[in-house]
Amino acid sequence: MPHRPVYPSARRPATCGDVLRLVREDGVATRAELARVTGLSRPAVAARVTELIAHGLLVEHADGPSTGGRPPARLAFDAAGGTVLVANLGQSRGQLAVCDLAGTILRRADADLPPGRLPEVALPALVDQWTALLDACGLPASSVRGAGIGAPDPADFDLWDTSPVTERFGVPALLDNEVNVAALGEHRVHHAAVADLLFVKVSTGIGAGLISGGRIQRGAQGAAGEIGHVPVAGGPGVTCRCGNLDCVEAVAGGAALVALSSAPDLPSLVSRAQDGDAEAVLIVRDAGRRLGEVIAAAVNILNPAVVILGGDLTAAYEPLVAGVREVVYRRATALATRTLRIEPSRLGELAGLTGCAAMVLDHTLAPEAIDAVLASA
């Protein structure tokens, strides 16, 4: 289906935020075209374009297509007009980055967080590391237009006091579950044409992010996608960290698999499975079957077009996906699986950072947000 520009409402004049959206998202490239699609006068268009250029959001080049006479100036979104700070924090490790206003990663690093990574100590450490990354890029703190964090365990969001971010950079920090932002990153970059997508992360823990109708679904309390805490049948009676018995995370998450194997840690187990070690392959494939039980139920309920498998365990993708597919295509309905695709993450460890950037940019570059910033300036 062709993309159609979202024009401003006929009930009000187009604002600077509306003009930026038309240029950035819909490819409107000249002042004359802006005047035509918005109904604004040429002086009104000129005033809005001038203000957006002054604030580093648009650039104008005199190289537009000519229909005779002097070629018109071409407008373009200025991705270099600012930065966003992003961090994706899993249960065992994390990454942070500085991105431009197109979401392109300019510089990234592993997150060096204090032991235990409690929010009250992790966030000040993140702020210091973001500052160091900005310095490494030669960019000032004043370039920051927003910050985003993908955090584990959505129930802990109330513990994240984001005032250190505001105090250092003058912007708020947006929070979401780490798996939600990974799902958003995969969807935005590689599956934008798919309206319904399920992203499943299999690492130390197990979780899912759901795109439905083209949007992340977070649930009433922000706890949607916690499939790691769905019990599986015939488990060994293992107590999960949530308190229930035989949750799929407790029997098929990374920590559980390492405990079953002779490998010292998850990377070693994955490496052995990649090399064809019989014990490791058997363990990973059985984990895929356990995971497939839960994914099959999710497929029946949600009917996604594609299931994306991400996380550390997917480095041993072949035995893992073999187990998942074996169960999903047997237990989910024929209609729900008729065209279902089960695929590995294409972004890998960058999915969370990319999704964080998309989350922040969707917020900070929304027309109402742009208008508020320009009004305050």
Token pair recorded at residue 309: 């498998």
Token pair recorded at residue 123: 């966030």
What's the pLDDT at 156?
59
Angle between helices 16-24 and 367-376 (to 10 degrees): 130
Question: In a 3-state reduction of DSSP, which class is residue 198?
Answer: strand
What's the pLDDT at 62?
78
Q: How far apart are CA 90 and CA 179, in angstroms?
A: 9
Does 376 have pLDDT greater than 50? yes
At 195-226, the pLDDT tens digits run 999 999 999 889 999 999 999 999 888 889 99
Angle between helices 42-54 and 16-24 (to 10 degrees): 80
Is 353:108 a contact under the CB 8 Å cutoff?
yes
Is 237:250 a contact under the CB 8 Å cutoff?
no
Q: Which CATH class is domain 16-77?
A: mainly alpha
**DSSP H or E segment with residue 175:** strand 173-177
Query: Does CATH place domain 81-171+352-376 in 2.40.110.10?
Result: no
At 264-305, the pLDDT tens digits run 999 999 999 999 999 999 999 999 999 999 999 999 999 999
Its pTM stands at 0.89
Residue 307 per-residue DSSP state: E
- The angle subtended at Cα 182 by Cα 184 and Cα 307, nearest 5°, is 80
**DSSP H or E segment with residue 342:** strand 341-344
Give the residue from 344, 352, 350, 282 showing the smallest Cα distance to 317: 344
At 178-188, the pLDDT tens digits run 999 999 999 99
30 φ, ψ (degrees, to nearest 5): -135, 160
Q: What is the mean pLDDT of residues 250-260?
A: 94
Mean of per-residue pLDDT scores for the chain? 90
Q: What is the DSSP string of 89-137?
A: E-SS-EEEEEEETT--EEEEEE----TT--HHHHHHHHHHHHHHHHHHH
Q: Which CATH class is domain 191-346?
A: alpha beta
Question: In a 3-state reduction of DSSP, which class is residue 211?
Answer: strand
- What are the residue boundaries of the structural domains of the chain, listed by start? 16-77, 81-171+352-376, 191-346
What's the pLDDT at 8?
53
Same fold, 81-171+352-376 and 191-346: yes
